[in-house]
Amino acid sequence: MDYYSSEINRLIEELTALPGIGAKSAQRLAFHIISMPEENVDRLADSMKSARKNVRYCRECFTLTDDELCPICRSKSRNHRVIMVVETTRDLAAYEKTGKYEGVYHVLHGAISPMLGVGPADIRLKELMKRLEKDVDEVIIATNNSLEGETTAMYISRLIKPSGIKVTRIASGVPVGGDLEYIDEVTLLRALEGRVEL
C-alpha cells in the first residue's frame, strides 16, 4: 500500500537511487525538499544540472573539475615532480584535507579487479605513463589497502620501476586510538614493516 502520492513516491525513489541513501534518509530528504522555499529548490536543481553539464576530468590528473586544469595542477606552488596516484577524487580530497602534501595527483578512477572484470586498460594508467615522460622524481602509490588496491599498486610499481623513477607506497598500519588486540595480523605486520625511526 502506498502511503504517499505518486509525486512524493517518485522523489523518494530517485533519492534512494543515490549511493549511501537508504529508504528512511530518502524519505527525510524528500520531505525536506518539499518544505523548502521554491527558490531554494530551484537553486538546488540548477546547481545539480550545472554540475552535471560542466564538470569534467582535469586534462592533467583526471580529477573532477569545471576547468581544463584543476586548481592543483594549475598551481605554481605545487611540486609537479612528485605525483601521488589515488583511486578516486574522494581519495584526493582526503589527502588535501591534511594540508601536508605539496605534490600533485593522478586519479585512476578505479582499481584493477579481475573478479569484477576491471583490467589495467579500464583505469587511467596510460595517462599516468604519459605524464611520466616529463620530469618526475617520485610516484607515491596511495591506492586503497584492499586486494584490488594492492594489485593495482604492484602493477603500477612494475610498470614504472624500469624508468628509474622512484616508486613509493603509503604506509599502512595501526589507526590512531586503535587497540592492538583488536587489529588483524596483516595490519599489524604492515605497521611493523612500515616503522620509522624516532
pLDDT tens for 176-195 read: 666 656 667 777 777 777 76
Single-letter amino acid code for the residue at 120: P
pLDDT tops 50 at residue 1 = no
Distance CA 123, CA 62 (A): 11
In a domain, 161, yes or no: yes
Neighbours of 74 (CB within 10 A): 13
In a domain, 15, yes or no: no
In a domain, 142, yes or no: yes
In a domain, 24, yes or no: no
- Domain CATH code at residue 89: 3.40.1360.10
In a domain, 181, yes or no: no
Q: How much is the mean pLDDT over the chain? A: 89
pLDDT for 197? 57
Q: How many domains does the chain have?
A: 1
Question: Under a CB-based contact definition with an 8 Å cutoff, are residues 115 and 150 in contact?
Answer: no
Question: What is the biggest distance separating any 2 CA atoms in the chain, rounded to whole angstroms?
Answer: 66
In a domain, 12, yes or no: no
Place of cell 530528504: 29
Question: Under a CB-based contact definition with an 8 Å cutoff, are residues 144 and 87 in contact?
Answer: yes
In a domain, 98, yes or no: yes
Upper half-sphere CA count for residue 76 (Cβ side, 13 Å): 0
Give the Å distances, CA to CA, from 150 to 12, 64, 84: 38, 24, 15
In a domain, 130, yes or no: yes
Question: Average pLDDT for residues 47-68, to the nearest whole number?
Answer: 95
pLDDT band at 198 (very low <50, low <70, confident <90, very high): very low
Lowest mean per-residue pLDDT among 32-36, 40-44, 98-102, 170-174: 170-174
Q: Which domain holds residue 150?
A: 79-172
